[in-house]
Amino acid sequence: MIHFSPTEIPDVITIQPRVFEDHRGFFIETYQKEVFAQAGIYQTFVQDNHSSSTRWTLRGLHYQVAHTQGKLVRVVIGEIFDVAVDLRKSSPYFGKWVGAYLSEINKVQIWIPPGFAHGFFTLSDRADVVYKTTDFFDPLSERTIRWDDPTLGIDWPIPAGIQPLTSEKDNSGGLFKETEVFE
C-alpha cells in the first residue's frame, strides 16, 4: 500500500511506496493514476526528466510563470534534500517552504503541485533525480529565486565550510520579494 503524508504545507505530499524486496533486489510502483487520484493527486503528467548531480550541487529554486508545473520527484541513486516554496499569493502558506530527504534507500517521493518553486541539494557523491511534470518545460517562462534568499530562510543541510555548486542561472536568480507569484 502506498502511504501519502501531507507536509507542513498540506498540498505538498510525501509518498512512501510499497517496496517488494528479496534476494534479487526490489520492485516498487512509483505511480498509479487511480491510487494517486484517491489521494487527491489528479494531475496528468506530460514529461519525465532525469538530472544527475555531484555532491554539494544545489539546483533551484525554479518555477515557471506560464505552463506552471506540478512535479512528482524521486531519487534513484544517492540522496538529496528537496525543497518546495509556496508562491500562491492566496495560500495561507505563501512564502513558506518545506523540505524532505529523498534517497535511493528510503524511496520517498514528493508531490509538489503547480504554484511552487522547487530546488534540491545533493548530499551523496552522486544523485540521480527523476521527476514527472504536469506541463512542458518553457524556457521563456522559467524563473529562478536565489536558493539563499534571506526572506525565505531555507534551512539547507549544507555542512560548515562547504560552498554549494550552483549554476550561473541559479546564482543570478531574483529575490523572493521580486518574485512573480500566482493568485
Active site residue ranges: 62, 131
What is the C-alpha to C-alpha distance for residues 132 and 30, in angstroms, rounded to an integer? 11
With contact defined as beta carbons under 8 Å apart, do 144 and 60 qualify?
yes
SS (H, E, C) the chain: CCEEEECCCCCCEEEECCEEEECCEEEECCCCHHHHHHCCCCCCCCEEEEEEEECCEEEEEEEECCCCCCEEEEEEECEEEEEEEECECCCCCCCCEEEEEEECCCCCEEEECCCEEEEEEECCCEEEEEEEECCCCCCCCEEEECCCCCCCCCCCCCCCCCCCECCHHHHCCECHHHCCCEC
- Cα Rg, the chain, nearest whole Å: 16
